[in-house]
Structure 1
Amino acid sequence: MDVSLAGILGAGLLVMASPGPATLAIAAASMQDGRRNGLALAAGVTTGSVTWSLLAAAGLGVVMASHAWAFTLVRYLGAGYLLYLAIRSARTALQRQTPADTPDEWTAPTSPAASYRRGLMIHLTNPKAVLFFGALYSLGLPAGAGLSELAVIVAALGALAGLIFCGYAILFAAPPVARGYARLKRAFSAVFAVLFGGAAIRILISRAPAG
């Protein structure tokens, strides 16, 4: 195939593995709720990544790049959800003591299904994801590429996303990391609150693509 698969996967690796809202949420879930929930959240992020990849292949990236209102709508949804996560983390950081019989909502037991939905929501409300995949396809696919070429790229990027995000979940759920979180729970929560809030602000001040 006349497709730059290595180039596409290389660019995908750099972007997916770099720190961002998704990797931050995976780290938080893995340390706070354990490997199972971390992997579930990573699966949600991967599903969101594949969804955006499919939509970009279908041309939505071009639509969002040329219609500022669509980009802005998704941007506000994403920023709002990240601010919600920031507030939850801040509440835990400010809470000096959590009674055993009334756990706060962030540290209360979380089901894998809820973790999966959280990961999916984080990635589906990131408007830059579809633009990123659209750029990958425009750079790595030849003119007139068929469905078979698109299917290979979507599958390869999906597998790469799963490996990266699940790898992060396993890393941050490692016993030494989990024990460190247990000792420094409030400090970690404060850091998560700042980082989630910062990510939300960056999304809010980002400009819509010119078009």
Structure 2
Amino acid sequence: MEILPLLPPILLAALIASASPGPATLAIAATSMSRGAGAGLRLAAGVLTGSLIWSSAAAAGLAALMLRHGWAVELIRYAGAAYLFWLAFKSLRAAWRGGLTEGTVPARHPFRRGLLLHLTNPKAIFFFGALYAVILSPGQSPAALALVVAAVGVQSATVFLGYALLFSRPGPMRLYRRGARGINALAGVAFAGLGLRLLTSRLA
């Protein structure tokens, strides 16, 4: 299949995007440290599901459609910024209260939290849209696109679930318990900064 030689650069670009610090990796790390592997893995699964949705949508051409309808992009952008500011508020409130009672992401429904976190990040679909537009040729077969989506999905699963397992180990958990207030404060500031960046940046 002619798509196979293109997989290494596609996977490298996707690896850099998924593994670099951002709202998803920050939430996975903080949740895993504060709530353990179970909650961290469920939140990571939600993030992964959101990533697969955006990746599939971009492969199907939704990114180009959204570029023609700016109101949809703006709606998602404001929703994403609002969600990040809400996470910042929860983290800073946890830091103010001592850090151990609430955590960066609430204990209930971690999968849904992870899914919302990624679905309200419009930069994800533009990353996938740009990636596929630059590397894949027009008229690529559905089987080739499905292979790319699956390969990126497997790699993203390794990264996101790996982060959850890594940060739920005893060492990081002890670190969190000793410095929960400071970690939640830093997470709150980071979430607020990411929300402000999303709110003020141009996505087109």
TM-score, normalized by length of structure 1? 0.91
Q: Kindly indicate whether the alpha-carbon contact (under 8 Å) linking 1:42 and 1:165 is maintained by their aligned counterparts in 2.
A: yes
The CA distance in 1 between the partners of 2:132 and 2:93, in whole Å, is: 41
**How many residue pairs were aligned?**
202
1:76 to 70, 75, 78: 78
The CA distance in 2 between the partners of 1:10 and 1:196, in whole Å, is: 26
Q: Is residue 190 of structure 2 the alignment partner of residue 195 of structure 1?
A: yes
Q: Is residue 23 of structure 2 the alignment partner of residue 28 of structure 1?
A: no
- Compared CA separation, residues 108 and 8, structure 1 to 2 (3 A): closer
1:69-128, CA deviations, whole angstroms, 9 ceiling, x for partnerless residues? 111110001110111110001111112598xxxxx54489825xx111111000000001
1:119 to 114, 133, 140: 114
Query: 5+ unaligned residues in a row in structure 2: which ranges?
Result: none
Q: Kindly indicate whether the alpha-carbon contact (under 8 Å) linking 2:87 and 2:104 is maintained by their aligned counterparts in 1.
A: no
Q: Is residue 2 of structure 2 the alignment partner of residue 2 of structure 1?
A: yes
- Compared CA separation, residues 108 and 49, structure 1 to 2 (3 A): closer
1:167 to 162, 168, 171: 162
- Compared CA separation, residues 151 and 184, structure 1 to 2 (3 A): same
SS of the residue 1:142 aligns to = coil
Q: Kindly indicate whether the alpha-carbon contact (under 8 Å) linking 1:43 and 1:166 is maintained by their aligned counterparts in 2.
A: yes
AA partner of residue 80 (structure 1): A
Query: 5+ unaligned residues in a row in structure 1: which ranges?
Result: 99-103
The CA distance in 2 between the partners of 1:16 and 1:165, in whole Å, is: 8
Q: Kindly indicate whether the alpha-carbon contact (under 8 Å) linking 2:91 and 2:104 is maintained by their aligned counterparts in 1.
A: no
The CA distance in 2 between the partners of 1:117 and 1:96, in whole Å, is: 25
